[in-house]
Amino acid sequence: MRILVVCGAGASSTFVAQRVRHAARAAGRDISAVAGTEQSLPIDLDAADVVLVGPHLHHAMDRIRRHASLRDATVVLLPADIFTDLDGTRTLGLVDETLASDPTERKPS
């Protein structure tokens, strides 16, 4: 599975992607996670199955969904407190929950 984490400038998404990679590796799963920006999204989507969207980009979700739907990528709007997930297991759990319950999108609770 290929995960793209999107934020405004790429800084916070880098931390989330790194934490998801570590959580996946610890669980023995073959998952790649890379960081991207809102501006690089159209290009980055070519290599993504799941798009994790930073909570501060909630205003751009319609546009992100449109881009992702063209490539059959699942979109997940991350909750506002996602940056407290220091080991990435909660974020990886959100991905798993999303794919198990709704293959198109998951909104944070």
Domain ranges of the chain: 2-106
Instruction: Give the pLDDT confidence score for residue 8 in this predicted structure.
Output: 79
Instruction: Give the pLDDT confidence score for residue 47 in this predicted structure.
Output: 87
What kind of fold does domain 2-106 have according to CATH?
Answer: Rossmann fold (3.40.50)
Read off the pLDDT of each residue in 87-95 and give the average, rounded to a whole number. Answer: 95
Report residue 102's pLDDT band, with 50, 70 and 90 as the boundaries. low
Instruction: Give the pLDDT confidence score for residue 77 in this predicted structure.
Output: 95
12-22, pLDDT tens digit by residue?
Answer: 889 999 999 99
Instruction: Give the pLDDT confidence score for residue 10 in this predicted structure.
Output: 63
Q: Which pairs from 8-17 meet CB under 8 Å and 24+ separation?
A: 8/37, 8/38, 8/54, 8/56, 8/57, 9/37, 10/35, 10/36, 10/37, 12/54, 12/83, 13/37, 13/52, 13/54, 15/83, 16/52, 16/54, 16/78, 16/82, 16/83, 16/85, 16/88, 16/91
